[in-house]
Amino acid sequence: MRAGDTIMALSSGALPAGVAVIRLSGPLVRTALTFVAGSLPKPRHLALRAIGASRQLDQGLVAFFPAPHSFTGEDCAELQVHGSPAGVKAILAELRTQGLRLAEAGEFTRRAFENGKLDLVEIEGLGDLLGADTEKQRQQALARYDGRLTAEIDIWRDTLLDLRAEIEARLDFSDEGDVSEDLPEHWQVQLADLELAIASAMASVESGRIVREGIRVALAGAPNVGKSSLINALAKSDIAIVSDEAGTTRDVREVPLDIGGQLFLLLDLAGLRATESRAEAEGIRRAEQAIASADVVLWLRAPDVPDVPRPTTNGRLLVVGTKADLGPVDGQDLSVSTQASQGLDTLVKTLGTLGESLAGAEPALVSHERDRAALANALDALAETRNALGDWELAAESLRLASAALERLIGRLDAERVLDRLFASFCIGK
Ligand code: GDP
Ligand code: ZN
């Protein structure tokens, strides 16, 4: 990135469109906006302007956001013009004559990071928000973008500084006898409270993951119990292959479903049975893996198909009797018939309730693997501090490590690698 130059982008998506939003950021924004819109509008107010310097190209609304109170922290502007491919092209060409260049993916957000407007955790929240498909994902992403985790981390970092100050004082003055060797009584309490706070934030990582990635629901059982038919009926479309021939579903197929604002991934697995076929055996091996790691297993049994041994799972288990039009099966928690359209609403409702309990009522504070790893490092370092009391060098060093883990999480340390990967998934103009 060439810092300090002025960037522009069509931020509103593909043309033609009702409205196109052109975004600018950098030191040349004032002169460039004056050039194409006649004069600078009052800061943070929309003004209707003829757009075009030598000839009128369009008319539209322009807004100017002077530094530092802008998204990037630099001078920024937005032009809302008609979403015409030719019009936008002509406006960008005029802006280019003023020394502006097209932005790279995520470059506006990168500038916001570099100017301290957003930290790494908040940028990840923004990325999640842009990619949110379900209501739960939107809530969780917005909470992160809004700085809920950042605010917690700030408190923890302050506490770490307090704790360190006491230790560092003992390092500096222990020879001179100015500081009593014993730590003040509240120090231990503060350390314990901090460990507790971080540990309880980490407890939400599972629900956070489930909201971001979806609840994995394995539909499993013997061949021909009706897995594909049930997935099709649930998705109300022909996504999975339905066939009379046993053993068609060899790959693990994922069907995404939004139930009550929560993402579910229904896994249509190979039917389990003894087989001579190498390909089918591979499908069965994958099915067993998927069952083991699923959040929920729907174990399907049909009246016209002998049951098979059920593999173990860490997920919640529901026994679903299929083909209820043919009769019940032993031990069913629920029964459905895709042919007679029975029991599907109850099954969806049951999944929805399960989803609410797995995802939690409140947006999770911690939802990325990166969060979990950083907080685990911080906790390890704090445990080391506890063991090192008396050895002030070591205690100070482990407290520094705990701080570094939190700094890394918000991007104060080693942010480049994470940012590069993150912005690869951002769109131009964000
Ligand atoms: P899978 O191998 O477990 O995926 O099973 P399929 O969904 O391919 O279904 C196997 C057979 O059972 C097909 O012939 C379906 O038509 C039939 N089938 C599926 N659902 C029902 C049902 O609700 N009632 C009846 N009577 N037959 C069903
Ligand atoms: Zn199938």
- How many Å apart are CA 234 and CA 256, to the nearest integer? 10
E-assigned strand segments in 322-357 = 334-335
Known binding-site positions for GTP: 224-229, 243-249
Map tokens 């190498």 to a residue.
278
- How many Å apart are CA 99 and CA 36, to the nearest integer? 13
Ligand 1, atom 21: nearest CA belongs to which residue? 323
Residues 235-259 pLDDT 10s: 875 555 555 555 555 567 788 899 9
Helices (H), 203-277: 205-213, 227-235
Residues 154-168 pLDDT 10s: 999 999 999 998 888
Ligand 1 atom nearest to 232, measured from its CA: 7
Rounded mean pLDDT, 379-389: 94
Ligand 1, atom 18: nearest CA belongs to which residue? 226
Percent of all residues in the chain with a pLDDT value above 90, rounded to a whole number: 75
Q: In what order do the strands lie in the sheet with 215-221?
A: 253-259, 262-268, 215-221, 296-301, 316-321, 334-335
Cis peptide bond N-terminal to 16, omega within 30: yes
Residue 398 burial (CB count, 10 A): 21
Map tokens 């002025």 to a residue.
6
Range with lowest mean pLDDT among 56-60, 176-180, 288-292: 176-180
How many domains are there within the chain?
3
Residues 103-124 pLDDT 10s: 999 999 999 999 999 999 999 9
What's the confidence (pLDDT) of residue 271? Answer: 87
Output the CA 313–ligand 1 centroid distance in Å: 24
Q: Does residue 69 sit within a domain? A: yes
Q: Does residue 153 sit within a domain? A: yes
Same-domain status, 24 and 86: yes
Same-domain status, 130 and 186: yes
Ligand nearest to the CA of residue 335, numbered in listed order: 1
Say yes or no to pLDDT of 212 above 90: yes
What residues are in contact with ligand 1 under a 6 Å CB criterion? 223-229, 242-244, 249, 271, 322-323, 325-326, 337-339
Same-domain status, 250 and 279: yes
- Give the three-state DSSP class for 306: coil
- How many Å apart are CA 133 and CA 216, to the nearest integer? 16
Residue 39 burial (CB count, 10 A): 10
Residue 396 sits in a domain whose CATH number is 1.20.120.430
Confidence of residue 1 (pLDDT cuts 50, 70, 90): very low
Question: What average pLDDT does the structure give for the chain?
Answer: 90
Backbone phi, psi, residue 173, to 5°: -110, 0
So what's the ipTM on this one?
Answer: 0.98
Same-domain status, 348 and 247: yes
Ligand 1, atom 24: nearest CA belongs to which residue? 323
Ligand 1 atom nearest to 229, measured from its CA: 7
Contact call for residues 75 and 8 (beta carbons, < 8 A): no
Backbone phi, psi, residue 301, to 5°: -135, 135
